[in-house]
Chains A and B, each alone.
Chain A
């Protein structure tokens, strides 16, 4: 599936809550539980994306032209968003990751999580995943 298709599916699922913030957050926290377990040995200082309150870890690998991510967060709501991002970008090519627009965040009412808030690691995670993709593309070229 393309990253656009995956995002449209996410938006469809969230539209059931009709913008109700509380149900959205409960659903996000449940989604977070679906994230594959990230081994503790990869949750090191090197792979941490820092935020004042919520932290995120991202560990990339590059196999056969595709980027694979392991990821986790110390807070449940951010972990739900991390899961969504993982479901979009995991096992995609560096080009797909670098060119895709993340339009789902705004559509599910979570745009504040990528705003200027220094309190959460999610905004920095997006940048970090793109940086990994860029590094792999450069290496692959």
Chain B
């Protein structure tokens, strides 16, 4: 558990403000997490002291910013236990990472009649890039269904998986439901039919221990901003043999070895996929977020978040006992992280979100970029509360109290 929550909260300046006259309660962590002082200072320091373009000039600032940039690559390699740093490519985020794989690996490897296997609980960013490349190549998109608790139906996965399957693109942890998918089993089964596996790690990486070698996943995608780091920075991990064989994504500076008007030869990985000047300051600051999470310890963070989730669900059950089950929990998988979707009888999720905001409580409302998942549950959207390492049970009590009064209003 996280012992000194007051000290932890003190490191997140944004938390200490009032919204609509009430202390801010930030429960929209699955959309983006807040940044600790270390990350904010690193960003500021970069622009005040080190700003220079990387991998190019001979001057001192350029050398310094290049060193810091590459230090983040080393840290992310260790964070996910990749075999080598070159297997970690910096992108803008998970969306770009998935599009990169779909447009390069997909372009080179998918043919008419091949199948791409995803799941019902994918974020749009792990659906649309595959639809686009499938349409272009005449490949077929298949979808593994889920049960009413929001868990994958693995017997259906087994039926859909075949030698036609070329890639399984699967979310590790669902952003809308919090479900932790059995990715180890998925990877083993996919490999047994010769398919590779891309994991959408957007939500997973802030909650779970990540070891790409133990998992044996072929691609893993990460967003810094969901891991207490800056926005506009992400990572694509890929096995070297796959990345080496893939054609480049964007053409431009950095990604070339030699350019003539007749022919261009491409740089080695990771640079082959890093055309143009990246978000240097963001990447440098991302290291401080990773260090921060390492320092607190993933296991401690997970225990704290599990405790928060249990506190919330217990509180909802209590409200339901007194109010005729007015709150419906959406996503009750046995194995899940601290994300809870719900609806309230006779109340639109948009109204619930506005009323919670009036109390200073930030939650997400809507379809969470998972429209097919919402359709599966016959919902237009939900209210989603997602808890992070700096949240407290007292904050959850504030949310429960607000929900209780909304439920009473809806019953009038």
A residues lining the B interface (CB < 8 Å): 19-22, 24-26, 29, 52-54, 74-78, 119-120
Contacts and interface: CB of A to CB of B under 8 A. Distances in A.
A53 B365 contact: yes
Contacts of A75: 348, 350-351
Interface in B19-49: 20-21
A22 B358 contact: yes
Contacts of B365: 53
A54 B357 contact: no
Nearest to A74: B348
A20 B358 CA distance: 8
Contacts of A120: 350
Nearest to B354: A77
A25 B358 contact: yes
A52 B368 CA distance: 11
B20 A21 contact: yes
B357 A21 contact: yes
Nearest to A75: B348
B7 interface: no
A105 to B, nearest CB: 15
A77 B409 contact: no
Nearest to A78: B350
Interface residues of B, number: 16
A26 B357 contact: no
B366 interface: yes
A53 B349 contact: yes
Residue from A22, A24, A26 having most chain B Cβ neighbours under 10 A:
A22
A75 B366 CA distance: 12
Nearest to B353: A53
A77 B351 contact: yes
Interface of B: 20-21, 347-351, 354-355, 357-359, 365-366, 381, 409
A141 B355 CA distance: 45
7 contacts: A25-B355, A29-B409, A53-B365, A53-B381, A75-B350, A76-B351, A77-B351
Contacts of A26: 409
A119 B359 contact: no
Contacts of A20: 21
B359 A22 contact: yes
Nearest to B402: A22
Given A74-B348, A75-B350, A76-B348, A53 B357 contact: no
A22 B354 CA distance: 9
A86 B357 CA distance: 26
**Can you list the 7 inter-chain pairs with the closest CB atoms, starting with the nearest?**
A21-B358, A75-B348, A22-B358, A53-B350, A21-B20, A75-B350, A76-B351
B408 to A, nearest CB: 11
B350 A54 contact: yes
A52 B357 CA distance: 18
Contacts of A74: 348
A74 B350 CA distance: 10
A75 B381 CA distance: 12
Contacts of A53: 348-350, 365-366, 381
A38 B381 CA distance: 24
A77 B358 CA distance: 12
Contacts of B358: 21-22, 24-25
Contacts of B347: 76
